[in-house]
């Protein structure tokens, strides 16, 4: 799905700002057809944002079910004869959209964009001002990802109607219109999609260390002369109702470096272009080309980068050089905004990532905003793009895949979300790998056919990127990693097991990592490891929850990573403290952040900075 852009034939109207808002206390709004008239006594609400932390009423913050958003918009006369589309960056989790009381879209899945073509409706309407209404539900059950269930309790010891949203993942179920809402216009004959794939020829990557193990060695490789290529082939598939004529490529200075005519092939157009001596997109040294497609009516320009990804039994190579993932599992999460897009926060985050010496992150546990992906392209961060398949494991022995929990509908939705993620993010050079799930119960028999299908789906959707999934199950129990390219493991030695005993980490970690590699002969990333740490807590000798403990905890892991040549990355959990549901081991959220929620460093940030920048 293309991002809405402006050019001489396309226009975008931003519908962000203050909307009307109403909680559907009894969840009867749809039956009562609230969309037919303006909402009664609405409150004011900011878009984009989560609504939860903007309100003061606990009933609204914790409401399970529908809330309603509403605003008006005007279509300028100059848009007459154009195709008009409403676009939501995300609506968490399930939305029904109405314009002037007419349903124009329905969407399930809270972290990916969707659109509604409203051309006909606008053309047939005599209204000057249109009313846009969104019924938005935050209910999670076993038919969607993330998974969850609504729990009700009855009896004299519970108030009437007592219920709550249960989730089996560790972040607060923020809800709302989290990303920009836009109305855009294109010509009636238009370009609907572009798939850009690049192939590099004559790659030369000066690589002094053939089998790097330590961070210092990886850094030495990364700081060497940038890899070059003799030429790049750029293949484009264009879906359009327009007649497509020409495809051009411009470099960062705006110079045209390639041009060709598009050819019609069955129901799409295609073009192949060649760039001589291309500048490659490298981690920390991004270079973005712009590909422009020109049709009889429509024009669309998409940025892309040229880079080559290869995975061996012990390495992840970008442009022929072994790459070591230094970075974090993160969350879209901040005070007040919740999961709402905050561009200022994103800039701060990327500046902190650069400061600490990170080169990558995982979009744990859902695709992040398109705006954030564009920033990663531009700043040269390497991204593991994760679908919102989280909460598919119980730790008490209950089965997730074997009974009435995960079911055919879950699988269908999971596959839909994978395809939608690829559709949205396929042209981003920052995305180097797809993650199909976080911590699913892959030791269960039922997980085997499930993930076989999941992985086949993503491979069919994109044959150019490796695939991973992130494990909590250990190497002996895991039944599905034969289908992935890279093993990602989350592990909390000395935290959730042998709590506080730092001296067990080295032994247990080394043993487990070697087992993973022996079993699958694939490179391994430590995709989570960490300890809750309250900023300002200190103790000598160190105890759990202090800043000293977090540093020593990291050190123990790092000693082992530096000994294993198949370990290709470390993503401490988590980048910053974040909000979770209430829980006995969550004091106002998860405190494993290397940064505080306000994006100021804990002591461990300095420790990592030193490690990740070492010569
Ligand atoms: C892992 C999850 C992550 C949690 C983390 C933790 O992947 O979402 O926040 O553990 O417990 O299980 O801190």
Residue 586: φ, ψ to 5°? -130, 100
- Residue 34 neighbours by CB under 8 Å, 6+ apart: 22, 24, 68, 133, 135
- Residue 603 neighbours by CB under 8 Å, 6+ apart: 547, 548, 550, 551
Cβ of 611 below 6 Å from ligand 1:
no
Collapsed DSSP state (helix, strand, coil) of residue 322: strand
The two structure tokens encoding residue 52: 């939860």
Q: Distance between CA atoms of 144 and 109, rounded to whole angstroms?
A: 7
pTM: 0.98
CA of 429 to the centre of ligand 1 (A): 27
Are 176 and 338 within 8 A, CB to CB? yes
- Name the closest-CA residue to atom 4, ligand 1: 170
Nearest to 560 by CA among 607, 511, 517: 511
Nearest to 224 by CA among 212, 208, 202, 200: 208
- Residue 243 neighbours by CB under 8 Å, 6+ apart: 189, 295, 296
The DSSP bridge pattern shows strands 486-490 and 524-528 to be parallel
Cβ of 100 below 6 Å from ligand 1:
no
Please list the residues that pair with 583 across neighbouring strands: 586
Cβ of 592 below 6 Å from ligand 1:
yes
CA of 169 to the centre of ligand 1 (A): 7
CA of 170 to the centre of ligand 1 (A): 6
CA of 59 to the centre of ligand 1 (A): 27
Are 47 and 28 within 8 A, CB to CB? no
**Residues of the chain under the 50 pLDDT cut:** none
pLDDT at 396: 80
Catalytic residues: 439, 528
Are 579 and 333 within 8 A, CB to CB? yes
pLDDT tens sequence across 443-491: 999 999 999 999 999 999 999 999 999 999 999 999 999 999 999 999 9
The two structure tokens encoding residue 375: 């920033």
Task: Please count the other Cβ atoms lying within 10 Å of the Cβ belonging to residue 43.
Answer: 15
pLDDT at 402: 82
Question: What is the atom index within ligand 1 of the atom nearest the CA of 580?
Answer: 9
Q: Distance between CA atoms of 4 and 10, rounded to whole angstroms?
A: 8
- Name the closest-CA residue to atom 5, ligand 1: 170
How far apart are the two ends of the chain, measured CA to CA in Å?
A: 42
CA of 529 to the centre of ligand 1 (A): 9
pLDDT at 2: 97
- Name the closest-CA residue to atom 8, ligand 1: 170
How is 52-86 classified by DSSP, letter by letter?
Answer: TTT---HHHHT--SEEEEEEEEE--GGGTTEEEEE
Question: What is the atom index within ligand 1 of the atom nearest the CA of 439?
Answer: 7
Q: Distance between CA atoms of 535 and 593, rounded to whole angstroms?
A: 9
The two structure tokens encoding residue 130: 């249109």
Are 438 and 365 within 8 A, CB to CB? yes
Question: What is the atom index within ligand 1 of the atom nearest the CA of 470?
Answer: 7
Are 601 and 595 within 8 A, CB to CB? yes
Cβ of 473 below 6 Å from ligand 1:
no
- Name the closest-CA residue to atom 2, ligand 1: 170
Ligand 1 pocket: which of 146, 167, 168, 170 to mutate (most atoms <8 Å of CB)? 170
| 571-595: burial string, b at 16+ Cβ within 10 Å, e else | bbbbbbbbbbbeeeeeeebbbbbbb
Cβ of 170 below 6 Å from ligand 1:
yes
CA of 516 to the centre of ligand 1 (A): 20
Task: Please count the other Cβ atoms lying within 10 Å of the Cβ belonging to residue 301.
Answer: 15
Ligand 1 pocket: which of 590, 594, 597 to mutate (most atoms <8 Å of CB)? 590
Instruction: From residue 581, give the alpha-carbon distance in Å to each of 126, 149, 589.
Output: 47, 14, 7
How is 206-227 classified by DSSP, letter by letter?
Answer: --S-SS--SHHHHHHHHHSPPP
CA of 329 to the centre of ligand 1 (A): 10
- Name the closest-CA residue to atom 3, ligand 1: 170
By residue count, the chain amounts to: 615
């Amino acid at each position: 799905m293309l991002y809405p852009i402006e050019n001489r034939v396309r226009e975008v109207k931003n519908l962000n700002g203050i909307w009307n808002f109403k909680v559907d206390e009894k969840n009867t709004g749809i039956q009562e057809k609230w969309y037919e008239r303006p909402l009664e006594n609405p409150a004011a609400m900011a878009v984009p944002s989560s609504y939860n932390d903007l309100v003061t009423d606990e009933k609204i913050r914790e409401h399970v079910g529908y809330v309603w958003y509403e605003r008006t918009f005007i279509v300028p006369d100059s848009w007459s004869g154009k195709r008009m589309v409403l676009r939501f960056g995300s609506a968490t989790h399930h939305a029904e959209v109405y314009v002037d009381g007419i349903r124009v879209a329905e969407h399930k899945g809270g972290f990916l964009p969707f659109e509604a073509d409203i051309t006909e409706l606008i053309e047939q309407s005599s209204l000057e001002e249109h009313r846009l209404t969104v019924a938005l539900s935050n209910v999670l059950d076993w038919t969607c990802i993330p998974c969850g269930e609504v729990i009700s309790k009855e009896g004299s010891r519970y108030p009437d109607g007592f219920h709550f949203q249960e989730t089996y993942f560790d972040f607060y179920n923020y809800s709302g219109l989290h990303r920009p809402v836009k109305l855009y216009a294109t010509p009636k004959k238009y370009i609907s999609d572009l798939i850009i794939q690049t192939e590099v020829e004559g790659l030369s990557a000066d690589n002094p260390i053939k089998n790097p193990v330590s961070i210092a060695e990886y850094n030495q490789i990364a700081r060497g002369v940038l890899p070059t290529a003799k030429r790049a082939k750029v293949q484009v598939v264009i879906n359009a109702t327009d007649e497509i004529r020409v495809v051009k490529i411009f470099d960062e200075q705006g110079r045209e470096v390639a041009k060709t005519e598009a050819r019609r092939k069955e129901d799409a157009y295609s073009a192949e272009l060649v760039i001589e001596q291309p500048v490659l997109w490298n981690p920390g040294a991004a270079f973005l080309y712009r590909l422009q497609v020109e049709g009889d009516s429509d024009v669309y320009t998409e940025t892309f980068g040229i880079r080559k990804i290869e995975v061996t039994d012990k390495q992840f190579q970008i442009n022929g050089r072994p790459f070591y993932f230094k970075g974090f599992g993160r969350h879209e999460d901040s005070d007040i905004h919740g999961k709402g897009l905050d561009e200022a926060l994103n800039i701060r985050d990327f500046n902190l990532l650069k400061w600490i010496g990170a080169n990558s992150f995982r979009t744990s546990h859902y695709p992040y905003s398109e705006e954030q992906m564009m920033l990663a392209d531009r700043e040269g961060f390497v991204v593991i793009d994760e679908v919102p398949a989280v909460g598919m494991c119980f730790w008490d022995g209950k089965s997730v895949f074997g009974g009435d929990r995960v079911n055919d509908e879950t699988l269908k939705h999971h596959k839909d979300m994978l395809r939608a993620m690829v559709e949205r993010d396929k042209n981003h050079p920052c995305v180097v790998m797809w993650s199909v799930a976080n911590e699913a119960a892959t030791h269960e028999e039922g997980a085997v056919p499930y993930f076989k299908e999941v992985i086949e789906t993503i491979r069919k959707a994109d044959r150019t990127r490796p695939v991973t999934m992130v494990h909590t199950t250990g190497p002996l129990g895991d039944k599905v990693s034969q289908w992935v390219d890279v093993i990602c493991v989350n592990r909390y030695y000395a935290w959730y097991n042998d709590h506080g005993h730092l001296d067990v980490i080295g032994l247990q970690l080394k043993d487990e990592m070697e087992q993973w590699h022996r079993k699958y002969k694939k490179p391994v990333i430590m995709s989570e490891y960490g300890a809750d740490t309250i900023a300002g807590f200190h103790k000598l000798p160190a105890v759990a929850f202090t800043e000293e403990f977090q540093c020593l905890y990291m050190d123990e892991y790092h000693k082992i990573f530096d000994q294993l040549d198949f370990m290709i990355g470390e993503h401490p959990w988590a980048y910053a403290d974040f909000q979770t549901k209430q829980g006995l081991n969550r004091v106002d959220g998860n405190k494993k952040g290397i940064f505080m929620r306000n994006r100021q460093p804990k002591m461990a940030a300095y420790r990592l900075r030193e490690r990740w920048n070492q010569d």
